[in-house]
Amino acid sequence: EDLKEKQKLDKDKMLTLVKKKIKTPENLDKVFESGYWDEVSKPCISCGVCTFLCPTCHCFDLVDEERKKLRCYDGCSFPDFTLEASGVNPRPTKKERYRQRVYHKFDYFKKNFGENLCVGCGRCIRYCPVKIDIADIVDKAPIK
């Protein structure tokens, strides 16, 4: 009993810290078509470090082999992530891919489940070779 109670208190404490640290602005969808995404995605080199280190990223690719299908980790920052068999790519630009990553973490998931998908661990920020800070980008989104 004591262990369960302690776990619940620890969980509640952690959720409080995360909610304080990362405040998702309401109406993030109002800047979807903004030139802001061109600006903030410019430094990104599409290396995928942020997606592979993120504890909540779960994108994958299916690789068909002769007798089996393999599910392999993939990242939304890679240019061919959404490339379809027809050759069409719904997110051909870095801006669109980066915006998708931000919206998935801070808008779409929150609308569906009530919480950010970002847990605030900072791994993506700490190991990004060009030092992109996703929390800062969300914080500075030009929402009017």
**What are the tens digits of pLDDT across the range 97-144?**
888 898 888 888 888 888 888 888 888 888 999 999 888 888 888 876
Instruction: For residue 94, report the phi and psi dihedrals to the nearest 5 degrees.
Output: -60, -40
Q: Tell me: the pLDDT tens digits for 24-50? A: 777 888 888 888 999 999 999 988 888
What is this structure's pTM? 0.72
Query: CA-CA distance, 132 to 127, in Å (whole number)?
Result: 9
Q: How far apart are CA 11 and CA 66, in angstroms?
A: 45
Is residue 96 within 8 Å of 83, Cβ to Cβ?
Answer: no
CB 24 within 8 A of CB 106: yes
Between the two ends of the chain, the Cα-to-Cα distance in Å is 48
